[in-house]
Amino acid sequence: MLFIDPCGMDTTANGNYIGADGLTDSQWLEASRPGASQGLAKYYRQQNNQFTSQQYQSKGHAEVGALLPGNWDSSDPSGQGVSDVSQAGLNFIAGYEGYSAITYKDVAGLPTIGYGHLIKLGESFGTLSKDAALKLLRKDASFAINAVNKYVTVSLTQNQFDALTSLTFNIGAGAFSNSTVLKNVNSGNILSIDKSFMIWNKIRIDGVLTPVQGLTNRRKAETNLFLNGDY
């Protein structure tokens, strides 16, 4: 049985109903089915409204409203979305970058310290604590934060912003701006998010793009962070 939006509806060319808040019947069914990802339902809701679960239930969306208790917007009471990486997000990135208290040379032979910080001309470090390295990482991640703010056109929760920042920090702002991850986020195509993240699990070896386990693990973790908020 289809879930029909009681607030009014229209039909698409293929006959799918569209509720007043922009969701097709198939999207409502997917978001409200038993065992549906809470992140999935929350994401669908975010692309159209900034309602609480109680407000959804009062509109008649009992199935979706019941998925999450309380106010779905508790992390974003303004309804405008977040615009900076959280400390948990920064720690998430740091966990994949690796830490060194002293200067070492990376695979390209460049002097590096902390969580992958490339030492610039004029910079000098002795022993770098983890706290100092995290502060340095936040500065280094500014390009990724700026890119997410620049290219994403929909409201994001903190975990979604952190996941996209991690991805962008790893692949670069240019790659992110042309990625299917970005296209799917901006279009609300949440069902393809996992596949679009996983495109970026490869490096070029002898001219051939080859999956790398470390990148595969990171992409899976970023997808889980984006969809479910698991740090």
Q: Is 201 helix (H, G, I), strand (E, B) or coil?
A: coil
DSSP codes of every residue in 62-81: HHHHTTS-S-TTTT-TTSS-
* 158-171 vs 142-151: helix crossing angle, rounded to 10: 120
Distance of CA 163 to the CA centre of its chain: 3
112: alpha, beta or left? (left if phi > 0; alpha if psi -120 to 50): beta
**By CB neighbour count within 10 A (0-12 exposed, 13-18 middle, 19+ buried), where does 138 fall?**
middle
Helix locations, the chain, DSSP H:
25-32, 38-46, 53-59, 62-65, 87-97, 130-140, 142-151, 158-171, 173-177, 180-187, 193-198, 213-228
- In angstroms, rounded to a whole number, what is the distance separating the alpha carbons of residues 220 and 132? 28
Q: Which residues are catalytic?
A: 97
